[in-house]
């Protein structure tokens, strides 16, 4: 068994949260006071807690700026191949603490804030694993955690897809890739969820109302985006004329890598109306109405569309999708042409795919394919075949869903009105594609129909997934099981035609946010026994297997978990006015509310446990706190009914004196990134119970695993690979496999068979139907999995010996190395984008003076 590090070895290490240096603290204090006075124009007599947050945020950002400028200078000088990650969602959450950690400033900032207008020093972190969070206050009446709580979540995403994009940006910067994230700066992010009388009510997420200290507007790079109009054929080729113009204003956010001086850029576009918008109305005297009409153009970036996994072809959504790709491609081509090499810049596009890699995060940015073709053919005057070759070698596509109803299919009629030239290009792409298929399969008309980009049944539509596959050189799923499904089922014809194009890239999470930030106690404990290198090389966690039987380590892991549970219990009591038993099992199910994610299945089990307690109150029962959270899309009635069922069951269970502390049910209102950072470290049992074959991957499952929760789940998404890594015996796996679901679909499914044959299940369903908990509604759920779900819960209750449980926890943590987003991005880089991680070594600037001197020279290069 490996020997833990000695005290001397530990002292030699630099804390994973950064050294508290006297010079660092003094510099931070000076910056804090400077920004409070000169940026916020406040003194301490009138400054609010939010002012102190902004002063600290600006101070930390100062330490980013030199690295940010130096990084862009370095890319300009070295001219590496650049990676562009196009996504309609970036679910960033909060930025302050993540930035402090990646810059190694966390402990120094803690100490600086403590010393501001204070007396004396405190040269230890109040975030150590062996104590509760400090109650030390500054003489301003605040501590660091209070300031961190002032920050609004940047909720520019619905869930997994947007959060994955955020993790990928962190990993690309940490690995030293010359990478950029491109998306939309939504004025209103994912709605704030309120629960009133058990029902979800949506409120606007006005996340920018206090300003955003992390972004920098770049009006000098504002670009025009065209809509509507008509196509005019000339001798020189096709021209898109008589268009309406909307301006795209870029806002840049720095993305720091972990302890490597790299700071990449996320550029988000905001829609602006041009100054001559509706000038004709000006001329006829309706000046006021013309100004008011500017809102119509600016609505494009007004609000994030909620995701209900059901595609609706709304014009505003298509405008958003084209808006981001049109602005982004102009920006990419500008950067490509203004390379340092050659005083005149590049004039040939021959090397475009050697310098540009564009990753499409699902089909939302798919219009980038015909848009790049339009630029190459109509503007740059390349011939079609050359343009198509360059386009295919540039793009790669990630698929995120196998649900047919979620796949984007835009009506031809809408495209013809909004983007007429692009529809022509799509038709030409499709014609060339079908000509190739017909040559290979001359008599197979059905294959032509299945593989066409244009669906002819009913309303003619463009299948955007087909467009992405045809127009990309690589296509990937996001977990082994998902990638196999898209190859053998959803896109089988395409996979058989070009098998080399299809790959798997199992999703991952960044350990910086999802361990160091949210669970510092566990992060420090791990560092004590295996060192700190695991933060950038998560596979090193496998060394923890050497400590599975170490009594001291088992005790420490258990204590960290219990401390996290106590802290979360205090949070629940404060925010939800519910007192729970911190010694109970925290059984957590947090994700978007959707039928396929099967919150109803969990709810049925809660009712069954309630009935067992009521039937025999004195029987042995391991206390359980059931925690469920997630948002339902505003238009998704069934998902809202599921929330109502859960809250109604909670009302009954939580107020039953017979049940007492044995069982509590909590619905977490307004689940979001910052709330996930609180609940995940406190979780004992993670519910990952989607029907096999419906969840593409999941990343929440990985976050729970890394933070020491055991998983109860189906063999779906990344659960399959988690079981492979940790050993199926260290997860609680239940239910049908993909092949079982397929067999059941073929045979036919009769819920009444299970209803009539399982008395406990029948009782639960009858209670719901009778209105015992709430108004009855019919949910779609696979009842044959419900019986197995209850059985597996009984199994782990029997097995819950604290020591053996913690040993399973350690084995799970040790097996999470594969699920780092660093590993995922390394695979994308080498196998899709053709770039090498860590091939750029960016020197550290002298903060902050030397950086200021470089600013003027560098701005033109960004």
CB contact at 8 A, 326 and 247: no
Predicted confidence band of residue 746 (pLDDT cuts 50, 70, 90): confident
CB contact at 8 A, 829 and 177: yes
Predicted confidence band of residue 758 (pLDDT cuts 50, 70, 90): confident
Q: Compute how many other C-beta atoms are within 10 angstroms of the C-beta atom of residue 337.
A: 12
For 111, residues 6+ apart whose C-beta sits below 8 A from its C-beta are 20, 25, 121, 122, 123
Burial of 386 (0-12, 13-18, 19+ CB in 10 A): middle
Q: Of 193, 194, 197, give the one whose Cα is nearest residue 648.
A: 197
Looking at residue 843, what DSSP letter applies? Answer: P
Amino acid 10: pLDDT: 41
Poorest-pLDDT segment among 152-156, 267-271, 502-506, 765-769 = 765-769
- Tell whether the model's pLDDT for residue 130 goes beyond 50: no
Taking residues 663-682, report their average pLDDT: 97
**Rounded to an integer, what distance in angstroms lies between the CA atom of residue 377 and that of residue 380?**
6
Place of tokens 């503007």: 379
Amino acid 14: pLDDT: 43
CB contact at 8 A, 696 and 401: yes
Name the residue with higher pLDDT: 751 or 628: 628
Amino acid 790: pLDDT: 52
Taking residues 321-328, report their average pLDDT: 98
Q: Compute how many other C-beta atoms are within 10 angstroms of the C-beta atom of residue 701.
A: 28
**Rounded to an integer, what distance in angstroms lies between the CA atom of residue 828 and that of residue 838?**
14
- Tell whether the model's pLDDT for residue 648 goes beyond 90: yes
Taking residues 779-791, report their average pLDDT: 55
Amino acid 92: pLDDT: 97
**Rounded to an integer, what distance in angstroms lies between the CA atom of residue 1 and that of residue 212?**
49
CB contact at 8 A, 533 and 518: no
CB contact at 8 A, 82 and 357: yes
Q: What residues does CATH 3.40.50.2000 cover in the chain?
A: 520-733+791-814
Amino acid 119: pLDDT: 43
Q: Compute how many other C-beta atoms are within 10 angstroms of the C-beta atom of residue 754.
A: 18
Taking residues 611-638, report their average pLDDT: 94
The tokens of 721 are what?
Answer: 């690979």
The tokens of 658 are what?
Answer: 């017979």
Amino acid 318: pLDDT: 96
Amino acid 116: pLDDT: 79
Percentage of residues in the chain with pLDDT exceeding 70?
A: 86
pLDDT tens per residue, range 500-558: 999 999 999 999 999 999 999 999 999 999 999 999 999 999 999 999 999 999 999 99
The beta strand positions in 447-499, using DSSP E, are: 454-455, 461-463, 474-477
Looking at residue 444, what DSSP letter applies? Answer: -
Amino acid 17: pLDDT: 63
Taking residues 416-441, report their average pLDDT: 98
Poorest-pLDDT segment among 30-44, 294-308, 688-702, 835-849 = 835-849
**Active site (annotated) includes residue 591:** yes
Name the active-site residue from 70, 319, 400, 422.
400
Are β-strands 179-184 and 263-272 bridged in parallel, bridged antiparallel, or unpaired? Answer: parallel
- The dihedrals phi and psi of 225, each to the nearest 5 degrees, come to -125, 130
Helix (H, G, I), strand (E, B) or coil at 372: helix
Predicted confidence band of residue 755 (pLDDT cuts 50, 70, 90): confident
Angle between helices 96-103 and 160-174 (to 10 degrees): 20
Q: Can you name the residues that pair with 711 across neighbouring β-strands?
A: 686
**Rounded to an integer, what distance in angstroms lies between the CA atom of residue 743 and that of residue 322?**
41
**Active site (annotated) includes residue 703:** yes
CB contact at 8 A, 410 and 313: yes
Looking at residue 815, what DSSP letter applies? Answer: T
Amino acid 137: pLDDT: 47
CB contact at 8 A, 610 and 664: no
- Tell whether the model's pLDDT for residue 617 goes beyond 90: yes
Amino acid 798: pLDDT: 43
- Tell whether the model's pLDDT for residue 277 goes beyond 80: no
The DSSP annotation for 11-40 comes to HHSPPTT----HHHHHHHHHHHHHIIIIIS
Taking residues 479-487, report their average pLDDT: 95
The DSSP annotation for 400-422 comes to ----GGGS-EEEHHHHHHH-HHH
What stretches of 205-338 show up as alpha helix (H) in DSSP?
A: 279-283, 287-292, 294-298, 315-337
Predicted confidence band of residue 847 (pLDDT cuts 50, 70, 90): low
**Rounded to an integer, what distance in angstroms lies between the CA atom of residue 428 and that of residue 423?**
9
Taking residues 182-206, report their average pLDDT: 96
Name the residue with higher pLDDT: 795 or 715: 715
**Rounded to an integer, what distance in angstroms lies between the CA atom of residue 369 and that of residue 472?**
8
Amino acid 15: pLDDT: 58
The tokens of 380 are what?
Answer: 């740059």
Taking residues 462-480, report their average pLDDT: 97
The tokens of 569 are what?
Answer: 């219990």
For the chain, the average pLDDT equals: 89
The tokens of 756 are what?
Answer: 């009539």
The tokens of 837 are what?
Answer: 């991680």
Q: Of 503, 507, 356, 506, give the one whose Cα is nearest residue 831.
A: 503
Amino acid 123: pLDDT: 38
Poorest-pLDDT segment among 91-105, 223-237, 315-329, 758-772 = 758-772
Name the residue with higher pLDDT: 784 or 757: 757
**Rounded to an integer, what distance in angstroms lies between the CA atom of residue 32 and that of residue 456?**
62
Q: Compute how many other C-beta atoms are within 10 angstroms of the C-beta atom of residue 233.
A: 9
Name the active-site residue from 505, 565, 592, 789.
592
**Active site (annotated) includes residue 597:** yes
Amino acid 576: pLDDT: 83
**Rounded to an integer, what distance in angstroms lies between the CA atom of residue 687 and that of residue 588?**
6
What stretches of 577-699 show up as alpha helix (H) in DSSP?
A: 599-615, 637-654, 673-679
Name the residue with higher pLDDT: 118 or 572: 572
Taking residues 475-498, report their average pLDDT: 96
Predicted confidence band of residue 9 (pLDDT cuts 50, 70, 90): very low
Name the active-site residue from 591, 624, 662, 793.
591
Predicted confidence band of residue 742 (pLDDT cuts 50, 70, 90): confident
HSE-up of residue 722 (Cα within 13 Å, Cβ side) = 35
The H-or-E segment that residue 51 falls in is helix 49-78
CB contact at 8 A, 302 and 191: no
- Tell whether the model's pLDDT for residue 140 goes beyond 60: no
Name the residue with higher pLDDT: 1 or 155: 155
Taking residues 223-252, report their average pLDDT: 96
Predicted confidence band of residue 342 (pLDDT cuts 50, 70, 90): very low
- The dihedrals phi and psi of 847, each to the nearest 5 degrees, come to -80, 145
**Rounded to an integer, what distance in angstroms lies between the CA atom of residue 840 and that of residue 83?**
14
Amino acid 407: pLDDT: 86
**Active site (annotated) includes residue 592:** yes
- The dihedrals phi and psi of 103, each to the nearest 5 degrees, come to -90, -5
The DSSP annotation for 693-705 comes to TT-S--SHHHHHH
Predicted confidence band of residue 313 (pLDDT cuts 50, 70, 90): low
Name the residue with higher pLDDT: 782 or 92: 92
- Tell whether the model's pLDDT for residue 666 goes beyond 50: yes
Predicted confidence band of residue 216 (pLDDT cuts 50, 70, 90): very high
Name the residue with higher pLDDT: 289 or 452: 452
**Rounded to an integer, what distance in angstroms lies between the CA atom of residue 365 and that of residue 41?**
42
CATH number for the domain formed by residue range(s) 520-733+791-814: 3.40.50.2000
**Rounded to an integer, what distance in angstroms lies between the CA atom of residue 14 and that of residue 532?**
9
- Tell whether the model's pLDDT for residue 379 goes beyond 90: yes
Predicted confidence band of residue 347 (pLDDT cuts 50, 70, 90): confident
Q: Of 247, 239, 242, 292, give the one whose Cα is nearest residue 269.
A: 247
By 3-state DSSP, what share of the chain in percent is helix, strand and coil, each rounded to 5? 50, 15, 35
**Rounded to an integer, what distance in angstroms lies between the CA atom of residue 561 and that of residue 704?**
12
Taking residues 70-94, report their average pLDDT: 95
The DSSP annotation for 183-224 comes to EE--SB-SPEEEEETTEEEEE---TTTT--TT-EE-GGG-EE
Amino acid 753: pLDDT: 86
Amino acid 402: pLDDT: 84
For 606, residues 6+ apart whose C-beta sits below 8 A from its C-beta are 626, 649, 653, 663, 665
Amino acid 306: pLDDT: 82
For 32, residues 6+ apart whose C-beta sits below 8 A from its C-beta are 55, 56, 59, 112, 113, 116
Name the active-site residue from 703, 789, 793, 823.
703
The number of residues making up the chain comes to 862
**Rounded to an integer, what distance in angstroms lies between the CA atom of residue 470 and that of residue 430?**
9
- The dihedrals phi and psi of 756, each to the nearest 5 degrees, come to -80, -20
**Rounded to an integer, what distance in angstroms lies between the CA atom of residue 390 and that of residue 196?**
54
Predicted confidence band of residue 199 (pLDDT cuts 50, 70, 90): very high
The H-or-E segment that residue 793 falls in is helix 783-799
Taking residues 196-217, report their average pLDDT: 97
The tokens of 176 are what?
Answer: 């030293």
What stretches of 116-153 show up as alpha helix (H) in DSSP?
A: 144-149
């Amino acid at each position: 068994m490996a020997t833990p590090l000695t005290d001397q070895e530990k002292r030699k290490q630099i804390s994973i949260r950064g050294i508290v240096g006297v010079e660092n603290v003094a510099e931070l204090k000076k910056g804090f006071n400077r920004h409070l006075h000169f940026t916020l124009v406040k003194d301490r007599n009138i400054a609010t807690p939010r002012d102190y947050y902004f002063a600290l945020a600006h101070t930390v950002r100062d330490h980013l700026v030199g690295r940010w400028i130096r990084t862009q200078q370095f890319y300009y000088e070295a001219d590496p191949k650049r990676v562009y990650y196009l996504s309609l969602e970036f679910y960033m959450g909060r930025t302050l603490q993540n930035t402090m950690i990646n810059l190694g400033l966390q402990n120094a900032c803690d100490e600086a804030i403590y010393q501001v207008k204070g007396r004396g020093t405190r040269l230890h972190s109040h975030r150590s694993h062996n104590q509760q969070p400090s109650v030390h206050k500054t003489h301003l009446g605040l501590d660091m955690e209070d300031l961190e709580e002032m920050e609004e979540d940047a909720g520019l995403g619905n869930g997994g897809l947007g959060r994955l994009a955020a993790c990928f940006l962190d990993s690309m910067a940490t690995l030293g890739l010359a990478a950029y994230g491109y998306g939309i700066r939504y004025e209103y992010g994912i709605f704030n969820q309120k629960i009133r009388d058990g029902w979800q009510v949506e409120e606007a997420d006005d996340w920018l109302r206090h300003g955003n200290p992390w972004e920098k507007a770049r009006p000098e790079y504002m670009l025009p985006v065209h809509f509507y109009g008509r196509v005019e054929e000339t001798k020189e080729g096709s021209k898109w004329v008589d268009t309406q113009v909307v301006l795209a204003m870029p806002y840049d956010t720095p993305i720091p890598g972990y302890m490597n001086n790299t700071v990449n850029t996320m550029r988000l576009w905001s829609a602006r109306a041009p100054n001559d918008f509706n000038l004709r109305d000006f001329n006829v005297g309706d000046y006021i109405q013309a100004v008011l009409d500017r809102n119509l153009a600016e609505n494009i970036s007004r609000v994030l569309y909620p995701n209900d996994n059901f595609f609706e072809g709304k014009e505003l959504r298509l405008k958003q999708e084209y808006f981001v790709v049109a602005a982004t491609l102009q920006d990419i081509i500008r950067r490509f042409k203004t390379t340092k090499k050659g005083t005149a810049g590049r004039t040939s596009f021959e090397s475009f795919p050697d310098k540009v890699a564009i990753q499409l995060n699902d089909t939302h940015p798919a219009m980038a394919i015909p848009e790049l073709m339009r630029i190459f053919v109509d503007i740059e005057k390349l011939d079609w075949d050359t343009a198509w070759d360059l386009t295919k070698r540039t793009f790669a596509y990630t698929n995120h869903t196998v649900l047919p109803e979620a796949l984007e299919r835009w009506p031809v009629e809408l495209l013809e009105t909004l983007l007429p030239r692009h529809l022509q290009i799509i038709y030409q792409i499709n014609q060339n594609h079908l000509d190739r298929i017909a040559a290979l399969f001359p008599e197979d008309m059905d294959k032509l129909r299945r593989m066409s980009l244009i669906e002819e049944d009913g309303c003619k539509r463009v299948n955007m997934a087909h467009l992405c596959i045809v127009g990309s050189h690589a296509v990937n799923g996001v977990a082994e099981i998902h990638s196999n499904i898209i190859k053998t089922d959803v896109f089988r014809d395409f996979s058989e035609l070009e098998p080399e194009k299809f790959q798997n890239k199992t999703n991952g999470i960044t350990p910086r946010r999802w361990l160091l930030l949210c669970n510092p106690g566990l992060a420090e404990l791990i560092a004590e026994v295996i060192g700190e290198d695991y933060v950038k090389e998560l596979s090193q966690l496998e060394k923890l297997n050497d400590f599975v039987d170490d009594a001291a380590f088992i005790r420490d892991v258990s204590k960290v978990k219990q401390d996290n549970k106590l802290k979360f219990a205090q949070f629940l009591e404060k925010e939800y006015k519910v007192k729970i038993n911190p010694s109970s099992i925290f059984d957590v199910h947090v994700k978007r509310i959707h039928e396929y994610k099967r919150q109803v299945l969990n709810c049925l089990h809660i009712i069954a446990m309630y009935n067992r307690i009521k039937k025999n109150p004195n029987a042995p029962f391991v206390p359980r706190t059931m925690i469920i959270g997630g948002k339902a899309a505003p238009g998704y009635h069934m998902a809202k009914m599921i929330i109502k069922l859960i809250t109604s069951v909670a009302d009954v269970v939580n107020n039953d004196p017979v049940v007492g502390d044995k069982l509590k049910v909590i619905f977490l209102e307004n689940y979001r990134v910052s709330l996930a950072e609180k609940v995940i470290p406190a979780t004992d049992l993670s519910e990952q119970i989607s029907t096999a074959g419906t969840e593409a991957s999941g990343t929440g499952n990985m976050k729970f695993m890394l933070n020491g929760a055991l998983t109860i789940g189906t063999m779906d998404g990344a659960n399959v690979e988690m079981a492979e890594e940790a050993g199926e015996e260290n997860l609680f796996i239940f239910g049908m496999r993909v092949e079982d679901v397929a067999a059941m679909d073929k045979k036919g499914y009769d819920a009444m068979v299970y209803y009539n044959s399982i008395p406990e299940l029948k009782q639960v369903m009858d209670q719901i139907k009778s209105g015992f908990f709430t108004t009855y509604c019919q949910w779609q759920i696979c009842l044959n999995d419900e019986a197995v779900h209850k059985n597996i819960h009984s199994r782990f209750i029997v097995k819950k010996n604290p020591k053996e449980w913690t040993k399973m926890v350690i084995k799970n943590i040790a097996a999470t190395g594969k699920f780092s987003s660093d590993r995922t991005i390394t695979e994308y880089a080498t196998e899709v984008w053709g770039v090498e991680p860590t091939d750029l070594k960016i020197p550290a600037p002298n903060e902050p003076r030397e950086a200021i001197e470089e600013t003027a020279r560098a701005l033109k290069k960004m």
